[in-house]
Amino acid sequence: MNGITEGQERPVPKVDWPRADYSRVPFWLYHDPAIYEAEQERIFKGPAWSYVGLEAEIPNPGDFRTTMIGATPVIFNRAMDGSVHCVVNRCGHRGAQVRREPRGNAKEHICIYHRWCFAPDGTLTGLPFRRGVKGKGGMGPDFDMADHGLRKLRVASRNGVVFATFSDAAETLEEYLGPVFLQHIDRIFAKPVRVLGYQRQRIFGNWKLYPENQRDTYHGSLLHEFQSTFGISRATQQGGVTMDARHRHNLTWARSATDDEAEFQALYKADNVHDSSLRLEDPGMLRFHDEWGDGISIAICGLFPTTTIHQISNSLAMRQIRTFGPGEFEILWTLFGYADDTEAMTQHRLDQSNMVGPAGLISMEDGEAIEITHRAIQGEPAACAVIEMGGAGPIHDLNHRVTDMPVRGFWSYYAELMGFEPPGAVR
Amino acid sequence: MSDLVGRVTNLLAEYAASIDENRLEDWVELFAEAGSYRVVPRENHDQGLPVPLILCRNKKMIRDRIKALRNANEYNLHHDLHIIGAPRVVVISPTECSVRASYVVYQTTLEGQSRLFSVGRYEDRVQVTDDRLRFLEKLVVVDSFSVPTLLATPL
Ligand SMILES: [Fe+2]
């Protein structure tokens, strides 16, 4: 038994789903503190796998990074024998945060409070005054060091992308991801990567609005006008949404230069969307190099619950969500290229980093869209979000992007893990 | 030298005012034709990692940023307020000096609610001619790199 018992779970509020296909989602689910608490236990510490980092970020023995899974602080690190571990960053003694630095290299993690000392795999290796001082004090005779380590998570890596889960009952990572998403990770991580840096964004809204945003593929060309205005991604291009068998993950993809300029202009003009006649003076960042040879220029891969792998033209990044209560979360973007990139290719990726992140020309709007939603849905227990673009009913893949169907997929697995699926729930 | 410090202080004051008064087209003209504008998270800067928040390697890209902001981007409706600390000016040549200054930016909603939005420092190279000063290079190192909400208007 671990010395610090995990919190006794309070009862999860009941949800009265208006429809079994999740085409209506009650607004209170985004604000309720009891729901948020239950999510930490059932989603983030439940049978889901969460991305914690790239092996390329901890190449050497002793390298560590601190991060979070939901609201739980964790250390992601490499032991002296080269193995990768993820442990809860909370002292097995009084619960203090053990590792305070965001990154570094160390053989052990020592809590500053009472100097308890832990190995990279979480094992408690020593504590001062265990046998007392001059025969006085010390831990009781039945104190067993083996019971008081840092909580160890299950860890699995796919081509250097490291995931962790709190659950012993969770499927293997391979089963959890399924063939489509394993293949996608293998596509993006076919070669060793080099981390180019980080971007962070603090959004004052509920965390679920972000995986929803990633799965609502039709907002892209409407909200992010830069994309359609300057021709990066348009709903008229060849593309679609592909999910796993359980519909919890989603890959939104599009091919470059597969639509007709006149058709695009006519559609956006007819629907009174916006002016698309603008041109950049320096269009270099719009250029797409087909590095993968499959023509896919947009691939937004959203893995349940909160991991995103993005390829936007030649910009590559992992995105990870940390939660800070029902009304606040942070997105950590880890931008990378390949270890064998030329200097020109690195420059191109950096130019394209203008398009992503908190100041991204095609992503800044998401921060605002999420905050205005979160603000306006407060205090509306009876009202619901409407999710039926691309059709209600069964959830399935589509060969177009004029849809938000994968959002319903997210909710269906979410409701299953939370234990409040409606009768006859669509899965 | 004291005359140069005065001129740099004026340049920074005009820099702040052009953003805070939403005269972003005037802001663009504070850059030299060879000018660049980079906003970099401090965590990247300190580790020697190149990823920026905003990267305008030339004046065309600076103009494009503002063009996109005016025509394509949606962002939180707000007023900016810049407070720029006293500049440290070092003369590099008769036509160039380096400038370092700390900054604070508050954002205020249209409902009158203010929040601290960003703190950090400027590391600039400034072109000095008889008639005016302009930025050859403006590097904004952002201490508040966990950007609240989003970053649209320049820092
Ligand atoms: Fe978006």
Please give the CATH number for the structural domain made up of B2-142.
Answer: 3.10.450.50
Q: Are residues A286 and A352 in the same domain?
A: yes
Q: Look at A335 and B51 and tell me if their CB atoms are within 8 Å.
A: yes
Nearest chain A alpha carbon to B68: A226
Nearest to A278 among B49, B53, B71 (CB): B71
Same domain? For A223 and A138 the reply is: no
Residue A223 CA to ligand 1 center (angstroms) comes to 7
pLDDT less than 70: residues of chain B: 1
Looking at the fold, whether A152 and A208 belong to one and the same domain comes out as no
Cα angle, residue B53 at apex, residues B133 and A251 outer, rounded to 5°: 155
A219 and A327 fall within a common domain: yes
Residue A197 Cα distances to A238, A315, A321, A350, B140, angstroms: 31, 12, 17, 10, 16
Q: Do A226 and A137 lie in a common domain?
A: no
Chain A residues with CB-CB distance to B150 below 8 A: 201, 358-359, 364-368
Q: Rounded to the nearest whole angstrom, what is the distance from the C-alpha of residue A73 to the centroid of ligand 1?
A: 27
Assess contact for B14 and B30: CB atoms under 8 A. yes
Contacts of B146 in chain A (CB under 8 A): 200-202, 330
Q: Does A15 touch chain B (CB under 8 A)?
A: no
CB atoms B72 and A229 under 8 Å:
yes
Cβ atoms within 10 Å of B114's Cβ, excluding its own: 12
Q: B58: nearest CA in chain A? A: A282
Is A223 part of any domain?
yes
Looking at the partner chain, which of A204, A350, A361 has a beta carbon nearest the beta carbon of B51? A350
pLDDT at position A402 is 87
Q: Is A112 exposed, middle or buried (0-12, 13-18, 19+ CB in 10 A)?
A: exposed
Specify the pairing of strand A63-69 against strand A72-78: antiparallel
* Tens-level pLDDT at each residue, chain A (427 residues): 344 455 567 889 999 999 999 999 999 999 999 999 999 999 999 999 999 999 999 999 999 999 999 999 999 999 999 999 999 999 999 999 999 999 999 999 999 999 999 999 999 999 999 999 998 999 999 999 999 999 999 999 999 999 999 999 999 999 999 999 999 999 999 999 999 999 999 999 999 999 999 999 889 888 998 887 776 666 678 899 999 999 999 999 999 866 666 666 666 666 666 556 678 999 999 999 999 999 999 999 999 999 999 999 999 999 999 999 999 999 999 999 999 999 999 999 999 999 999 999 999 999 999 999 999 999 988 899 999 999 999 999 999 888 999 999 999 999 999 999 999 999 9
In total, the C-beta contacts within 8 angstroms joining chain A to chain B are: 125
For residue A288, what are its two tokens? 């797409």
Residue A366 belongs to a domain with what CATH number?
Answer: 3.90.380.10
Nearest neighbour of A200 by CB, restricted to B39, B57, B145 = B145
- A187/A152 same-domain check: no
Spatial distance between the Cα atoms of B12 and B21, rounded to a whole number of angstroms = 14
If you measure from the C-alpha of residue A322 to the centroid of ligand 1, how many angstroms do you get, rounded to a whole number? 18
**CB-based contact A280 B64, cutoff 8 Å:** yes
User: By residue range, what is the domain housing residue A205?
Assistant: 181-418
Structural domain includes residue A369: yes
CB contact under 8 A, A198 and B60: no
**One-letter identity of residue A45:** K
Q: What pLDDT is attached to residue A258?
A: 62
Q: Do A358 and B67 touch (CB under 8 A)?
A: no
Nearest Cα of chain A lies from the Cα of B68 at a distance, in angstroms, of 7
**Residues from chain B contacting residue A280 (CB–CB below 8 Å):** 60, 64, 67
How far is the centre of ligand 1, averaged over its atoms, from the C-alpha of B82 (Å)?
29
Q: What is the pairing mode between strands A103-105 and A109-110?
A: unpaired
For residues A409 and A366, membership in a common domain is answered with yes
Chain A residue closest to B54 (CA)? A354
Q: How many distinct structural domains can be found in chain A?
A: 2
Q: Which element (helix H / strand E) includes A376?
A: helix A364-376
Search chain A and give the residue with CA nearest B117.
Answer: A202
Q: Which of A90, A123, A156 is the last residue of a domain?
A: A156
Q: Which residue among A141, A156, A171 closes a domain? A: A156
Continuous segment of H or E residues that includes residue B124:
strand B114-128
- Give, as residue ranges, everything with CB less than 5 Å from ion ligand 1: A 366
**Do A193 and A104 lie in a common domain?**
no
Contact assignment for A280 to B67 by CB distance below 8 Å: yes
Please give the structure tokens belonging to residue A144. 């067993």
A241 lies in some domain: yes
Taking CA atoms, B21 is separated from A159, B82, B148, in Å, by 50, 10, 21
The predicted structure's pLDDT at residue B46 = 98
Look up residue B101 and give its two tokens.
Answer: 């200054």
CB B126 within 8 A of CB B98: yes
A249 and A196: one domain?
Answer: yes
Domain annotation covers residue A18 = no
Whole-structure pTM over 0.90, yes or no?
yes
Considering CB atoms only, which of A195, A281, A330 is closest to B63? A281
Percent of chain B with pLDDT over 70: 99
Distance A219 CA to ligand 1 centre (A): 6
Q: Which residues of chain A are within 8 Å of residue B43 when distances are taken between CB atoms?
A: 102, 198
Q: Which chain A residues have a beta carbon less than 8 Å from that of B41? A: 197-200
User: Given A281, A357, A371, which is nearest B149 (Cβ)?
Assistant: A371
Instruction: Please check whether residues A199 and A133 belong to one and the same domain.
Output: no
DSSP-assigned beta bridge partners for residue B148: A202
* ipTM of this complex: 0.97
Cβ atoms of residues B6 and B89 within 8 Å: no
Q: How far is the CA of A214 from the centre of ligand 1 (A)?
A: 7
- Is A405:A391 a contact under the CB 8 Å cutoff? yes
Phi-psi region of A132 (alpha: psi -120 to 50; beta: other; left: phi over 0): left
Q: Whole-angstrom Cα distance, residue A117 to residue A150? A: 10
Q: Which residues are CB-contacts of A372 (< 8 A; sequence separation ≥ 6)?
A: none
pLDDT at A179: 97
Nearest to B84 by CA among B68, B64, B105: B105
DSSP A207-273: TTHHHHHHH-GGGHHHH-HHHHHTTS--TTSSEEEEE-TTS-SEEEEEETT-S-HHHHHHHHHHTT-
Strand residue runs (E) in B31-113:
31-41, 54-56, 78-84, 88-93, 96-109
**Closest CA of chain B from A406, distance in Å:** 25
The residue behind tokens 């697995």 is A413
Residues A357 and A413 in one domain: yes
Q: Are residues A217 and A250 in the same domain?
A: yes
Q: How far is CA B37 from the centre of its chain?
A: 7
Q: Which residues of A100-110 are buried (b: 16+ CB within 10 A; e: fewer)?
A: eeebeeeeebb
How distant is the Cα of A401 from the closest Cα of chain B, in angstroms? Answer: 21
Q: Is A368 on the interface with B (CB under 8 A)?
A: yes
Across the interface, do A359 and B151 touch by the CB < 8 Å criterion?
Answer: yes
Taking CA–CA distances from A104, the nearest residue in chain B reads: B47
Q: Give a yes or no: residue A33 inside a domain.
A: no
In this structure, what DSSP letter does residue A136 have? B
Across the interface, whether the CB atoms of A359 and B44 are under 8 A apart is answered no
Within 8 A of A229 by CB-CB distance, chain B residues are 68, 71-72
Identify the burial level of B106 via C-beta atoms within 10 angstroms of its C-beta, where 0-12 means exposed, 13-18 middle and 19 or more buried: middle
State residue A244's pLDDT score.
Answer: 97
Chain A contact set for B155 (CB, 8 A) = none
CB contact under 8 A, B150 and A330: no
Closest residue in chain A to residue B45, using alpha carbons only: A197
Tokens of residue A187, six digits:
């596509």
